[in-house]
Chain A
């Protein structure tokens, strides 16, 4: 590989508190050799390939902490190849994959399979998660230690919650000793039974059963109480309401260590967007009030929320073309994650650097992986974007195998121009 020199770039790398006009050099192994305003073209080799970024923005490749790949078992919804294409087109170079495949990733042989398969078929960095409990049934914990040795970065039952408090206490106790990351979906099943939408005016109008924000809050409160006793690496996958945020604020200001994620959907949509039964907006946790959305944005600003995820869930049309209560839950979003997040920059609700931070270095730190940064010596995972270019979201143009986007027809500003993975140009608009 030749050296690569990126010139005339606005480099934003929150891991180094960097936001400056400058250049970046990747060495022959695709690692960052030099970065910043003082780097000159002449610092590289004369044979180097030159990329003139023309004043556009250059950031570390995005780390998406929650995405579903269809493999194995649901290849008709998404496979490693289509997921990689969608990710790279969205500037995402590292993906944390969810274990709720068929079969579920809850044992060592499945991990070996997924890593091998991913290595052969995927064109992005994959960081697989295994389930917290066997079959995500919430009854028996999985082999945290052995699975970690095989390359599992975190444990999650995805959209399921460990309901049993005794088991959750043991999971956290055990995890605290061996240092694994527990990623919880916060939802009390008794309180959320049969429900599919926020408990409010829209639920009343549409005649659907609503899930109260208490269902989320009560699990967060429970787990954070347990965390005082068993201080493990604990992460809440996605929060959706203002009330949950209040609990998080109280606990974080008391010095408790844990991390929190939010889906880009909950940051950019509210329950009114569901309209007359748009099943593509049936999500878990559900879209809530505008008031909740605004407080989540504020939560990022105040460092109460650490990560923005795509919560990419590909679903085929058949499973969505049903009455709302029967339709599948989830939306795709990996390709639109960054452009949609940039909306918060354009409407001035969040600083650009903060947005990039929640998409790069923050998830990398939580996962303890060496990604999300362009510090000297790190991997050449890079996303180059035109911050202002306008475009229209059209489902058929998205690269995912499934087309269930929650933001069909939305006008976005910010386009990914190029994506590099380990120094190789893998996406070029």
Chain B
């Protein structure tokens, strides 16, 4: 990465969406503004536009994904782009091809956009140095998931009318979560106060330097919160002995109607999915349309991704 070969130097490097860290407040607001306009389009009967007609979008997924992948797929199609989705789980990579080689191969097909999901932090950054088109990060390792944070922001704005001045609390496996990191950056940029709650073994070092106040106690952490974002607890964390058991986790960190009372009266719940009902969240609570924004998040995800594709495809 440190060395760039002159032969592969890129002329007029396009802008990429690699992470919220690289966005300015203005750019973030522009994406949200653009996305808002797609919400009604997506609810209408004729959903197709042709702003990306003739453009090629490649979805490069090295990690399995349901909602992010289908969301990007649909977003591209609704804007009229030719969308190709490649699931790289059992492809050339298994034959020893490096990410750079894959990038070069795809680049030769002249795509206008590459959407990448990769298990290694920093993979989209590496890719962006080697291709001539815009790269959109659809989640890399535990680093960033910018479109998820943007759709979360849009969902909050849609319900609460604003983000500035709100207290947003993220709860769960912060250590391994790219969603948490992107949200910490974005919510701070948009003027919210951010709390994070996690057991000590799942709390990353120096998280306060990213702009979040750490708590290990739900009662203290949820106090005064307007938004409660729950994160998925991955099963393999038990094997790594980050935690003693699921039921102990649920006891102390699972969101129940009782614990939700520590937050503000009109607090709303979010979850990036997929959910583990009964592990991080009470199942009734998750389905309660009065407090849960989970379905709305998925819906607005398409709008946000349409906005990103439109803005970055140039």
Residues of B within 8 A of A (CB): 1-3, 5, 21, 98-100, 118, 120-123, 125-126, 140-144, 178, 181, 204-207, 209-210
Contacts and interface: CB of A to CB of B under 8 A. Distances in A.
B99 A200 contact: no
Interface residues of A, number: 30
B99 A323 contact: yes
A352 B125 CA distance: 41
Contacts of A210: 205
Contact of B205 (A203, A279, A281, A403): A203
B209 A207 contact: no
Contacts of B209: 201, 204
A204 B205 contact: yes
B1 A199 contact: no
Interface of A: 199-201, 203-208, 210, 276-281, 317-318, 320-327, 395, 403-404, 408
Nearest to B185: A205
Contacts of B178: 207
A222 to B, nearest CB: 22
Given A201-B210, A206-B122, A320-B3, 4 more contacts: A203-B204, A207-B141, A276-B125, A326-B120
A324 B210 contact: no
15 contacts: A201-B209, A203-B204, A204-B206, A207-B142, A207-B181, A208-B143, A276-B125, A277-B122, A278-B1, A278-B2, A322-B126, A323-B99, A323-B121, A325-B120, A325-B141
A132 to B, nearest CB: 30
A320 B2 CA distance: 8
Given A207-B144, A278-B1, A321 B205 contact: no
A320 B3 CA distance: 9
A280 B140 CA distance: 20
B121 A207 contact: yes
Contact of A322 (B99, B121, B181, B207): B99
A201 B204 CA distance: 8
B122 A324 contact: yes
* Most chain A beta-carbon contacts within 10 A, residue among B2, B100, B122, B206: B2
Nearest to A331: B2
Given A201-B205, A210-B205, A322-B99, A280 B123 contact: no
Contacts of B21: 205
Contact of B123 (A200, A203, A320, A323): A323
B97 to A, nearest CB: 12
A207 B98 CA distance: 21
B207 A204 contact: yes
A278 B126 CA distance: 10
Contacts of B126: 277, 321-323
Given A201-B209, A204-B207, A277-B122, A321 B1 contact: yes
Nearest to B178: A207
A277 B141 contact: no
A407 B190 CA distance: 37
B3 A317 contact: yes
A270 to B, nearest CB: 14
Contacts of A322: 98-100, 126
B205 A200 contact: yes
A276 B207 CA distance: 18
A200 B122 contact: no
B143 A207 contact: yes
A327 B120 CA distance: 11
A199 B204 CA distance: 9
A279 B100 CA distance: 14
A323 B119 CA distance: 10
A20 to B, nearest CB: 42
A326 B121 CA distance: 10
A321 B98 contact: yes
Nearest 10 A-B pairs (CB), nearest first?
Answer: A207-B143, A323-B120, A207-B121, A201-B206, A207-B142, A277-B122, A204-B204, A280-B2, A323-B123, A201-B209
Contacts of B123: 323
A323 B207 CA distance: 23
Contacts of A203: 204-205
A403 B3 contact: yes
A276 B142 CA distance: 14
B94 to A, nearest CB: 14
Contacts of A325: 120-122, 141
Contacts of B204: 203-204
A152 B205 CA distance: 43
Contacts of B120: 323-326
A317 B141 CA distance: 23
A395 B3 CA distance: 9
Contacts of B98: 318, 321-322
A324 B121 contact: yes
* Most chain B beta-carbon contacts within 10 A, residue among A205, A210, A323, A408: A323
A206 B141 CA distance: 9
B114 to A, nearest CB: 15
B170 to A, nearest CB: 14
A321 to B, nearest CB: 6
A281 B143 CA distance: 19
Given A207-B141, A207-B178, A279 B2 contact: yes
Contacts of B2: 278-281, 320, 404, 408
Contacts of A277: 1, 121-122, 125-126
Contacts of A317: 3, 5
Contacts of B141: 207-208, 323, 325
A317 B178 CA distance: 29
A90 B71 CA distance: 56
A208 B121 CA distance: 6
B143 A279 contact: no
A320 B126 CA distance: 11
B101 to A, nearest CB: 10
A204 B122 contact: no
A318 B21 CA distance: 28
A223 to B, nearest CB: 26
Nearest to B204: A204
B214 to A, nearest CB: 11
A318 B3 CA distance: 10
Nearest to B141: A207
Contact of A206 (B5, B143, B206): B143
B87 to A, nearest CB: 18
A323 B125 CA distance: 9
A277 B126 CA distance: 8
